[in-house]
Amino acid sequence: MPSPPTSRSKTRRTATLVARARSRQRSRILELEAGARPLEPDAPERDRLMAETHGYAQRFLEELPDRLTYNHDKSAAAEIRTLGVGDGVHPIGRLIDRFDQSVVRTGLLPAHAGHLGYIPGGGLYASALADYLAAVTNEYSGVWFAGPGSVEIENQVLDWMADLVGYPEGSAGNLASGGSLATLTAVVTAREAAGLRANEFERAVFYASSHAHHCIEKALRVAGLGEAVRREVALDDRFRMIPDSLADLVAADRAEGLIPWLVLGSAGTTDVGAIDPLSDIAEVAEREHLWFHVDAAYGGFFALVDECRPRLAGMERSDSIVLDPHKGLFLPYGTGAVLVRDANALRAAHTYHANYMQDTLETEREGRSPAALSPELTKHFRGLRVWLPLLLHGEPPFRACLEEKLELARYFRREIAELGFEVGPEPELTVVTYRWLPDTGQANAFNRALVEATHRDGRVFLSSTMIDGKFVLRLAVLAFRTHLDTIDLTLDILRECVRELEGHPERWAAE
Ligand SMILES: *Cc1c(COP(=O)(O)O)cnc(C)c1O
């Protein structure tokens, strides 16, 4: 049936309207594209931005030795808000300047050689370049299907770490953002491997010494096990776990109908750098079917140094272990590693499937995608910042740097004892504890004033802790830039500060 003429012209009109709407929409899209253009700087603009950024980085590294390690005055931090987010645009030079004043020059400067507190971090330049490449290419590293090469890189560096630890074939691991998140992954794996159900959490028992890092407590709570039973295993006179004490506690708990579940051994405690007798703990754990987790966040990479290997023996018998590349491999912050001896246990605790991920399943059967082995899906391409420095520099400089730190810690302990300080045990790794005993007055008050005096000085950064009720100072040598001159400077500063405080008892004796 022929359509009436009116309808034909209507169709034509509709077609014109559709064409106009389409054209309006296209111009709007092009307008928006133009509006978004600053997000994609062109080559000359990239050169300019890079020159400013690189120029700052070069000046920073050149001036670094002359900067303070610690700036007690933190008032400039809040001034970061003088530049409002969402309030217009600013030239990169101005932003970098504000960053320098408010961020880099306040508080602690962890990249500095003088960072000798807590467990120092690093800041390898090669890792900064890797982060730059990872960000520019924005490679996906969550699943092998999308990022086969980046997943290979992550697994390659994890295999290297597993070799270092002494794990057999069939282990797997994950690069997390830090030791705490890596520990959480281990705890969740241990929970699932033991088949613990919610109604058993109150009877599950976790064993550690009083010197275990608090991240395990946090991990237990986050993993839903805040109500688990804690047992504190006794320490020997060098702050190492006594395995017989562990065995006794486990036996008593079994007799009471509890579920002995997880034991944590430290390969380098934060307080004093003590290494628990890992082989003996492994013995008890194997006999009692406990999950044996080793916290090697601080000490793990000392396995690269021959001298330390015997002290770390037994870590290869653990079920899971955490190492922190942003400590012992001197990486910038943002990378902690967990390794699990039985890859299937790690996988069983973390693998999920979703329809929108169906394209990835075929290759996923190999099962070594980070997404199948960790809580994350999309993640920072952390593998590259570990891989690049290791392949660019090779292992020998890492070994030398770690061995240097061991010698520096021993050197400091001898020299500080010579200055008249009371010193803690010979370090197993690179932490030295020490305190000054004033002729009169409270030793704790004196040493608190002493550490505060060093903070006001700021040329180096020292921290303190309490050991058996005694306030002691700690020296932790792990920053890769720390060398002999830094330690000599530290000795000078401590000598000066003690002299000053001894001459002014009113500054500390009032307490
Ligand atoms: C630093 C550290 C942790 C925690 O690691 P983060 O990377 O800070 O989350 C755990 N255990 C020990 C012994 C550590 O030194």
pLDDT in tens, 475-499: 999 999 999 999 999 999 999 999 9
Share of the chain above pLDDT 70, in %: 97
What is the mean predicted confidence (pLDDT) over 310-325?
Answer: 98
Going by C-alpha positions, the residue among 411, 405, 383 that lies closest to residue 327 is 405
Q: Are 302 and 278 in contact (CB under 8 A)?
A: no
Per-residue model confidence (pLDDT) at position 279: 98
Residue 8: band (very low, low, confident or very high) from pLDDT cuts 50, 70, 90 = confident
Going by C-alpha positions, the residue among 323, 465, 456, 330 that lies closest to residue 400 is 330
Chain-wide mean pLDDT for the chain? 95
Locate the ligand 1 atom nearest the alpha carbon of residue 118 and give its number.
15
Going by C-alpha positions, the residue among 254, 262, 295 that lies closest to residue 278 is 295
Q: Is the pLDDT of residue 357 over 90?
A: no
> Rounded to two decimals, what is the model's pTM?
0.95
Integer Rg of the chain from CA:
28
Per-residue model confidence (pLDDT) at position 351: 86
The tokens for 181 are 């998140």
Evaluate: CB of 481 within 6 angstroms of ligand 1. no
Q: Is the pLDDT of residue 511 over 60?
A: no
Q: Is the pLDDT of residue 461 over 90?
A: yes
Going by C-alpha positions, the residue among 169, 225, 168 that lies closest to residue 199 is 225
- The DSSP code for 254 is H
CA distances, 344 to each of 173, 174, 376, 445 (Å):
11, 13, 17, 52
pLDDT in tens, 401-457: 999 999 999 999 999 999 999 999 999 999 999 999 999 889 999 999 999 999 999
CA separation for the pair 278, 258 (Å, rounded): 24
Which protein residue has the closest C-alpha to ligand 1 atom 15? 298
CA of 113 to the centre of ligand 1 (A): 20
Using most ligand atoms within 8 A of CB, pick from 184, 220, 295, 474 the residue to mutate for ligand 1.
295
What is the mean predicted confidence (pLDDT) over 386-394?
Answer: 98
Evaluate: CB of 189 within 6 angstroms of ligand 1. no
Evaluate: CB of 271 within 6 angstroms of ligand 1. no
Between the two ends of the chain, the Cα-to-Cα distance in Å is: 106
Residue 248: band (very low, low, confident or very high) from pLDDT cuts 50, 70, 90 = very high
Per-residue model confidence (pLDDT) at position 87: 84
Per-residue model confidence (pLDDT) at position 353: 79
Q: Is the pLDDT of residue 3 over 60?
A: no
Q: Are 444 and 473 in contact (CB under 8 A)?
A: no
CA distances, 398 to each of 100, 122, 448 (Å):
29, 12, 35
What is the mean predicted confidence (pLDDT) over 246-255?
Answer: 98
Residue 330, phi-psi category: left (phi > 0), alpha (psi -120 to 50), beta (remainder): left
Helix, strand, or coil (residue 218) = helix
What is the mean predicted confidence (pLDDT) over 353-367?
Answer: 68
Per-residue model confidence (pLDDT) at position 119: 96
CA distances, 41 to each of 23, 46, 52, 74, 291 (Å):
28, 6, 14, 35, 52
pLDDT in tens, 216-242: 999 999 999 999 999 999 999 999 999
Going by C-alpha positions, the residue among 211, 476, 161, 166 that lies closest to residue 323 is 161
